[in-house]
Structure 1
Amino acid sequence: MRSIIEKEQQKRQQKEHTIHMQRLIQEGGYISPDEYLWEDILVGVALKKPILLKGPSGAGKTKLAQSISHFFNQPMHSVNCSVDLDAESLLGFKTIVQKDGETMIEFVEGPVVKAMKEGHILYIDEINMAKPETLPILHSVLDHRRMLTNPFTGEVIYAHEDFTVISAINEGYVGTSPMNEALKNRFISFSIPYLSGEELRKVMESDFPDASKQLIDTMMNIGNELKKQVMNGLLSDEAASIRSLLDAISLAEHISVKRAIRYAIAEKLEDQIERNLIMELVDTWVK
């Protein structure tokens, strides 16, 4: 009898845990494509391992980072990488200020320094867009040392125990370059795929609670078709972007579905043949 009661208690506790996790994920905005990915990433974050999110544009990597921030109730500082990113953009810069009638030089802390000192999340978006020579300054931050000597002030900064690093990359896109192996090896890497099936429907229904079932069904069919053509190599990855599909739903609540798909998805593509293919696919689902 005792074992039966204990099993029932465990079952109820597991159910409560699942409901609690689903609520937290929903509040943060990200819905996991499988039952393991979300919790596996949380384990990596809890262990203070630098996390690398790999996936196509619009797969929800930033939403995922925001959901982690929400789950741990931990503020997030963002760095958007580009070829113009330099050490000052990461660490901060010196500036001249007036205090009590005197001219002084003051150091304004950047996102890396702030996150390290305050125990916040540092989110580095599109890290493979940065110039390779800029990023080695983060090596000691990302490995077991979790420290940094600020070259602008000489200050030695040891990371707060709650400090966490999450990075995201879009592999194979124009303007990106392969990550340096020394940098990549400091991360635990997770592939973030596009959502599909019931997970995608949950996102649509959550973001657009007033949308008709017909509109959601139509967009589900179009989204699945676009993903299929991407997998077949007939469309670029960005054609299946969940972000763009959600933009299309937002427009389609006010204008025709065809025009919404054209503006939110097709017109973003460079190739005219791909744009035409998308609109042909839409014609099979929208009369």
Structure 2
Amino acid sequence: MTDHAQYLIQQEPFYQPLHQEVELYQAAWDERLPVMIKGPTGCGKSRFVEYMAWKLGRPLITVACNEDMTASDLVGRYLLDADGTRWLDGPLTTAARIGAICYLDEIVEARQDTTVVIHPLTDHRRTLPLDKKGEQVAAHADFQLVISYNPGYQSLMKDLKQSTKQRFAALHFDYADPDHEADIIARETGTPRDQAVRLVKIAATARNLKGHGLDEGISTRLLVYAARLINRDIAPRLACRMALVDPITDDAEIRDTLYHAIDAVFGADGA
């Protein structure tokens, strides 16, 4: 049996509650409801799941979904070794056996024929069929399935089936309001709050360009990166270009617009 201690979050992750998401998740956990978390890139979805796993004292197994992921990558497969073949549980099976929270991050990146394997775990059955092994895994009483994705990237090719969506309770996340976001950046990085406020102002400019040249605005995660660079005595103007602008766009006009926003906030000399 896998030791679940290796999957426990040992230290409290910093998470700033914004609404009632902690209470709502707690209620879903108490009922062992599967939970879907929707929101833009870098707004705190994964950090929230880590925080709740720590708060609940439950092991957390995270899977970063991708288009090449197969059902076997989730449930397990037979492997060859010196003695023949042996079965190796996948992360979903391990979580179901030990009573972990299994977090499938950016689930829409996975193929739909892969994600259907989660269906029996998300209704009254709470089982996981291992067809290749001929085993039916009954989920541990403390097992919970959590998925996340970014609705901004939905398309006909990348979306969840209604038959999958309607198996989950959902929480919608967004970027924090400016005051809270500045608090988060200051708390996360130790940067002075007035500096954090300036970074948030730059993010607001980029987020207003979403759908007008940008697929996605500047995330809270990138603001944290910029603050950490500034803390290393990198000039704010250069740190912001490196962390906030250059990662998200290759469009010269959009880049210039955001460079001007940085200059307006920090000054052209980067002070």
TM > 0.5 between the two? Answer: yes
User: TM-score, normalized by length of structure 1?
Assistant: 0.83
* One-letter code aligned to 1:148: L
Specify the alignment match of 1:263 in structure 2: 242
Match of 1:72 among 29, 46, 56: 56
Q: Give the equivalent residue in structure 2 for 1:17.
A: none
Structure (1/2) with the larger helix percentage = 1
Residue 54 of structure 1 corresponds to: 38
Higher Rg of the two aligned structures: 1
Measured on the aligned residues, the alpha-carbon RMSD in Å equals 1.9
**Residues 50, 166 of structure 1: 8 Å contact kept:** yes
Give identity over the alignment, percent: 25
Give 1:177's aligned residue: 158
User: 1:8: which partner in 2?
Assistant: none
The answer (yes or no) to whether the contact 2:37–2:146 under 8 Å persists in 1 is: yes
Structure 1 residue runs without a partner (length 5+) = 1-25
Q: How does 1:79-98 map to 2 (within 5 A)?
A: 79-98=63-82
Task: Give, in whole Å, the separation in 2 of the partners of 1:236 and 1:195.
Answer: 19
Could you list the runs of 5+ residues in structure 2 that have no partner in the other structure?
Answer: 1-10
Shift of 1:106: 0.7
CA distance, structure 2, for counterparts of residue 201 and residue 46 of structure 1? 32
1:32 equivalent to 2:17? Answer: yes
Structure 1 residue 80: Cα displacement: 1.2
How many residue pairs get aligned? The number is: 254
Q: 2:89 aligned to 109, 119, 141, which one?
A: 109
Name the residue aligned to 2:4: none
Correspondence for 1:23 = none
2:174 alignment counterpart:
193
Q: Is 1:206 matched up with 2:158?
A: no
Q: Closer, same or farther in 2 for the Cα pair 1:243/1:90, shift >3 Å?
A: same
Q: 2: CA distance between counterparts of 1:94 and 1:262?
A: 48
CA contact (8 A) 2:32 2:144 kept: yes
Tell me what 1:12 maps to: none
| Structure 2 counterparts to residues 128-207 of structure 1, below 5 A | 128-173=108-153, 177-207=158-188
Structure 1 residue identity aligned to 2:14: G
Q: Kindly provide the CA deviation profile for residues 6-30 of structure 1, in whole angstroms up to 9, marking residues without a partner as x.
A: xxxxxxxxxxxxxxxxxxxx93222
Q: 1:222 aligns with which of 199, 202, 205?
A: 202
Find the aligned partners of 1:117 and 1:186 in 2 and give their Cα distance: 20
Distance 1:283 1:265 in 2: 13
Q: Return the offset for 1:174.
A: 7.7
Structure 1 57/79 Cα, relative in aligned 2: closer, same or farther at 3 Å?
same
> Deviations along 1:49-82, whole A, 9 cap, x unmatched?
1110001101111101101111111111111111
> Given the alignment, which residue of 261, 266, 270 partners 1:281?
261
Task: Name the structure 1 match of 2:6.
Answer: none
* AA aligned opposite 1:49: L
- Matched position secondary structure for 1:239: coil
Task: Give the counterpart of 1:236 among 196, 211, 214.
Answer: 214
1:196 and 1:224 in contact (8 A); partners too? no
